[in-house]
Amino acid sequence: MKQLRLIIVLTLAIVCTKNYAQFRKYSNEFLNIGAGARGLGMGGAQIVSVDDGTAGYWNPAGLVFVKNNPNLALMHADYFGGIGKYDFIGLALPSKNGNKTLGISFMRFAVDDIPNTLFLVNPDGSIDYNNISTFSSADYAVLLSYSQIVKQTNKEFFSIGGNVKIIRRQVGSFANAWGFGIDLGAMYRKDKWKFAAVLRDATTTFNAWSFTFTEREKEVLYLTNNDIPVKSTENTAPRLILGAGRDFKINDKLNLYAEANLHLTFDGKRNSVISSNVLNIDPNIGLEAQYNKVLFVRAGISNFQQALSDGDTTNQKKVWIYQPSLGVGFKLSNVGIDYAFTNLANQSNPLYTHVFSLKVDLINNVKRKKQ
């Protein structure tokens, strides 16, 4: 418990120190999408229970639950009617004694075929649609993870972990950025209760942008009264996530698991359940029913916000809205398949997305082929 108290003290010290800096509130938003259909089906409530190749994203301290065999996690999703494409690959590599685990994760979010209309209008004022070209905007991230068991007994379990994040963002040939950041995580379990804490962007995550324009492009930007950027830097403020979960055993085959996460941000007022200039708190809640460790049914809600109700503008009232999600999963031997049906917007303005993911224990598969 001394190690846990030390982590909490260091976490609060980092958060309080960084609170005085200026940050961009929604920097690197692609890193908040999630990883794996299980987590998305449970509304993103994952930092306490994650135990597979997606742990490098949710909570690196959970990588130590990958025992004996490397675990590979794959995910693909289309967003906004196929306009945006998101892919995730996570690999967990446990040590021989099982006390330490290494992980590597790769994420990509891209929007392709964006029209470039810089030269749509000719110098004489005529419009030439043949001058329209296309470009892509892509965001990449690589997470290098490490986790270690600190204490393990019949009744208690405590682990810690961390990520080093390398970020690459590119917008056509016009702009690109390199970024770097660190995440820290911890897990504590006792009996049926589970607790966790994750400090994302612990030292702040920065993106250093550079811009490249041809002389012709600069001329168009100047004539249309647009600024011509040269260099810029954006910082992502630290975010502290606290979580608690509990198992409810119904019978020998049926188990119910419930988890709640609290996202604490310190970068100015947000539209969240608890909102202020100093502290904002946004909850995630997830449920998972498990039958015989083969069939899984999930549900979750997240992103609680206040909005104006529908109807006449004179009679509108503030109401709470949220993002619901559902999911199912199957596990057969060393292969797990998960599906999530999520809403990117809220229940009154739905924007649904189908998410599929696959998890494989690699060594078991190889051994089976040899046999």
> Strands, E, within 61-99: which ranges?
71-79, 84-94
Tokens standing for residue 232: 């810029």
Which residues, including other chains, have CB under 8 Å from residue 265's CB and lie 6 or more apart? 237, 239, 272, 279, 280, 282
Q: How many CB atoms lie under 10 A from the CB of residue 366?
A: 13
- The reported pLDDT for the residue numbered 309 is 67
Summarize pLDDT for 158-176 with one digit per residue, the tens: 999 999 999 999 888 888 8
Question: Is residue 103 pLDDT above 60, yes or no?
Answer: yes
Distance (Å, whole) CA 181 – CA 179 = 7
SS3 state at 97: coil
- Residue 268 amino acid letter: G
Instruction: Provide, rounded to the nearest whole percent, the portion of the chain with pLDDT above 90.
Output: 46
pLDDT at 349 over 60: no
Residues with Cβ within 8 Å of 97's Cβ and at least 6 positions away in sequence, in order, are none
Show the tokens assigned to 309: 């109700």
Tokens 């982590």 locate to 7
- Secondary structure (3-state) at 17: helix
Determine the Cα–Cα distance for residues 74 and 85; give it in Å rounded to an integer.
14
Which tops the pLDDT comparison, 348 or 243?
243
Q: Kindly give the residue spans of alpha helices, DSSP state H, lying in the chain.
A: 2-18, 37-41, 55-58, 215-223, 362-370
Q: Which of 269, 249, 245 is nearest to 258 (CA)?
A: 245
| Res 311: pLDDT | 60
- Reported confidence tier of residue 15, pLDDT bands at 50, 70, 90: very low
- Per-residue buried b or exposed e for 239-275, using 16+ beta carbons within 10 Å of the residue's own CB: bbbbbbbeeeeeeeeebebbbbbbbbbbbeebebbeb
Model confidence pLDDT, tens digit, residues 322-333:
888 999 999 988
**CA angle (266, 270, 272) in 5-degree steps:** 105
Q: Which residues have a Cβ under 8 Å from the Cβ of 119 and sit 6 or more positions away?
A: 128, 131, 132, 216, 220
Q: How confident is the model at residue 183, as a pLDDT?
A: 95
pLDDT at position 109 over 70: yes
Decide if pLDDT at 291 tops 50: yes
Confidence of residue 248 (pLDDT cuts 50, 70, 90): very high
Task: Specify the higher pLDDT residue, 258 or 68.
Answer: 258
pLDDT reading at 206 higher than 60: yes
If one compares 11 and 235, the residue with the highest pLDDT of the two is 235
DSSP secondary structure string for all residues of 251-311: SSSEEEEEEEEEEEE-SS--SSSB--SS-EEEEEEEEEEEETTTEEEEEEEEEEEEEEPSS
With CA atoms as reference, report the closest residue to 40 among 93, 79, 83: 79
Is 20:105 a contact under the CB 8 Å cutoff?
no
Sole residue written with tokens 């942008």: 209
Exposure letters 7-44 (e unless 16+ CB within 10 A, then b): beeebeebbeebeeeebeeebbebbebbbbbbbbbbbb
18-38: pLDDT as tens digits: 433 445 666 788 888 899 999
Please determine, for residue 365, whether its predicted confidence score (pLDDT) is greater than 60. no
Position 16 pLDDT exceeds 50: no
pLDDT greater at residue 18 or residue 152: 152
User: What confidence tens digit (pLDDT) does each residue in 81-93 have?
Assistant: 778 889 999 999 9
pLDDT tens sequence across 39-57: 999 999 999 999 999 999 9
pLDDT of residue 2: 45
Q: Which residue has the higher pLDDT, 187 or 269?
A: 187
In this structure, what token pair is assigned to residue 290?
């498990």
According to CATH, what is the number of the domain 2-370? Answer: 2.40.160.40
Name, in order, each residue with C-beta under 8 angstroms of 32's C-beta and a sequence gap of 6 or more. Answer: none
Looking at per-residue confidence, does 314 or 77 come out higher? 77
Residue-range domain boundaries for the chain: 2-370
Mean pLDDT of the chain: 84
